[in-house]
Amino acid sequence: MDDDWGPIPLSRLSHAGFCLRRAALLTNEQIWKESADTAKGRAEHERVHAQRIERRGETAKLYEFPVFSHTLGVAGKCDCIEAQTDARGCRIPALDFPARLYPVEYKHGEIRAEREYEIQLCAQAMCLEEMFQTSIPEGAIYYITSHRRYSVPFTEELRNLVKETIHKIELFRRSFSIPPAEKEAKCRACSLREHCRPGMQRSASNYCHELRREAMERDVK
């Protein structure tokens, strides 16, 4: 992994899973636009998060736990790691007992399955596995507003998707390129749509295509 650029933030994987162009705008143009949604999400995160360990009997919760992977070239934080005492578990410096680790990512809004969040969560697990030579088969995404969560199995398919996403980010990061906009339903919820102008970009490209077609028609006459 080329480390001239430093590690890729884990949250960038989630953006890339949502839209590669969005991740590239954030990375190569350092554009960020707060929307009502992102502001609400950030406020909810700030209320919930402060780095700490909560111990209760045989379990502990580690909040805002820093993680990294040299192999993947990523770094960030786990919102929460639930640690359960297990003699076959791993040793981590923050705990005085061997533990099984279960990462939980906090998101705002109502419960819904979002692949990009699953990519981010799985990348966290892969970091923990590398850091503590352990195996983590599952984690969960917790929705703060609805107080509900769903479990995410870390399948081979999801792990490969994490690696593919990192590879795509590496490519646009090295080439300073921004992938073209694909106007889709998700653009309505994107805080970068004003800057991205997906519809306009398509109109412009359609216009160029039309000019090319007319020029070719003239040439054959």
Q: State the nearest-atom distance from the C-beta of 206 to ligand SF4, in Å.
A: 16
Q: Which of 46, 18, 6 is nearest to 165 (CA)?
A: 18
- Could you give the angle at which helices 156-175 and 20-28 cross, rounded to 10 degrees? 40
Give the residue with the Cβ less far from ligand SF4, 29 or 96. 29
Both tokens of 126, joined, read: 């892969």
Give the residue with the Cβ less far from ligand SF4, 149 or 202. 202
Give the residue with the Cβ less far from ligand SF4, 118 or 129. 118
Both tokens of 29, joined, read: 């143009």
Q: Which of 112, 141, 109 is nearest to 125 (CA)?
A: 141
Residues 6+ apart with CB under 8 A from 48: 63, 79, 106, 144
Give the residue with the Cβ less far from ligand SF4, 16 or 123. 16
Q: State the nearest-atom distance from the C-beta of 197 to ligand SF4, in Å.
A: 8
Q: State the nearest-atom distance from the C-beta of 194 to ligand SF4, in Å.
A: 8
Which residue ranges make up the site for ligand SF4 (CB under 6 A)?
Answer: 19, 21-22, 181-182, 186-187, 190, 192-193, 196, 198
- Could you give the angle at which helices 10-18 and 20-28 cross, rounded to 10 degrees? 140
Q: State the nearest-atom distance from the C-beta of 40 to ligand SF4, in Å.
A: 18
